[in-house]
Amino acid sequence: MPHNRALAGILLLGLNLFVAAAFAASPEPIPGGWRLMRTPNPLGGPDAVSMTHTADLIHSDPDLAGLMLRCAQSGAELLIVVITPFPPAAHPDVTISGGGNDWHFAGQVVPPGAELLLPPESITLVSTAWRSAHELTVKVSSPDQSFGGVIPVDGMATALATLMASCPVN
């Protein structure tokens, strides 16, 4: 699949503006540049609540948009947000590096394909191995596309705690 870098750059800029607008609406700043996002459910159910952080634009490929922590029925989930969607059946390899260690995951594509859900054990790393990290290096690879970059994660454990306190009660 050919990459249109100009379009990817425009989409990434749009994502950054969207995240910045959500941050401006947040009642209080969250340490480390995290943004609390609350999206109303169009069917009248509970809101979708997430914490996001954009990738470092200087040190990342245009296809890496950022990182998302989101509320789920079983607690919280960790996702990598991308610009170029993956096909629904894809299972891209995701390697996250920080503090001299590497963690390897099989990403599960979340429709419409621009989010890669990491397995449940990845969320425990937020408050353990990644707690003191300032940034994580992310590499995503599949037969169709490969890219990577750096995501600042200062305050990630606090962002997770804030998210959990904001999750809707089912």
**Which pair of structure tokens corresponds to residue 35?**
């943004």
pLDDT at 11: 45
Tell me if the bond preceding 112 is cis, omega within 30° of 0.
yes
**Contact call for residues 125 and 6 (beta carbons, < 8 A):** no
pLDDT tens digits for range 116-131: 999 999 999 998 999 8
When mean pLDDT is compared across 15-24, 74-83, 156-165, the lowest value belongs to 15-24
Mean pLDDT of the chain: 85
Q: Which residues pair with 68 in a beta bridge?
A: 52, 79
pLDDT at 31: 80
Over range 82-97, report the average pLDDT: 96
Query: What global pTM score does this model have?
Result: 0.82
Domains of the chain as residue ranges with CATH: 5-166 (2.60.40.1880)
